[in-house]
A and B are shown apart, each in its own frame.
Chain A
């Protein structure tokens, strides 16, 4: 079984400031890692994913995340946020040998203010 912990439920940030969203996971088997974004009243959109290889993963909209196996973390970062980045962000994991069932964290609400 896996579990995903998003350490911050809400992150306020000023426009053009950097942001980091923290995600820790636990699993007894190999996993793939994902970050999704959910804009108000919308579905989930994939930001980026880690499958293997380089531990620094670049995604859409200027986001990147770093996989740290020893700390079982997959933190999401953006060097300069925009008002339009206001949304809820979900970290998720799935077993590498599974059919694709995702285990989600509780989400982090990012609120960007001018």
Chain B
């Protein structure tokens, strides 16, 4: 059973471009969480999704950021018109049921905006 897969592992974008980060949860997991880790900081919650539904997006910036988890395929975190301050590591975690006390984390996507 493969773990949570995130790709790409590293992503470089110029200011103003779009960044698309993908997360494939573990097999059988239908709950996905996105966290952002800024340099020298802990992880901050961004969004929680179930298949085809956004459950909690209280940590998402109001503009330029969006997330989806379609019925088929990976969850996508999209950042439009990236700025230098978006440079961070973005982690995805998944769990099989809501409220499960262990979420499994992927290895993250490290976004660098130049």
Contacts and interface: CB of A to CB of B under 8 A. Distances in A.
Interface in B61-98: 91, 93, 95, 98
Contact of B102 (A46, A90, A103, A104): A46
Interface of B: 4, 6, 31, 33, 35, 40-45, 48, 55-56, 91, 93, 95, 98-103, 105-108, 110
Q: Interface centre among B48, B102, B103, B106, by most A CB within 10 Å?
A: B103
Q: Interface centre among B35, B42, B43, by most A CB within 10 Å?
A: B42
Q: Interface centre among B43, B45, B100, B107, by most A CB within 10 Å?
A: B43
B21 to A, nearest CB: 14
B56 A102 contact: no
A105 B40 CA distance: 11
Q: Interface centre among A6, A44, A46, A98, by most B CB within 10 Å?
A: A44
Q: Interface centre among A99, A100, A107, by most B CB within 10 Å?
A: A100
B42 A90 contact: yes
Contacts of A106: 40-42
Nearest to A94: B101
B33 A100 contact: yes
Contacts of A103: 45
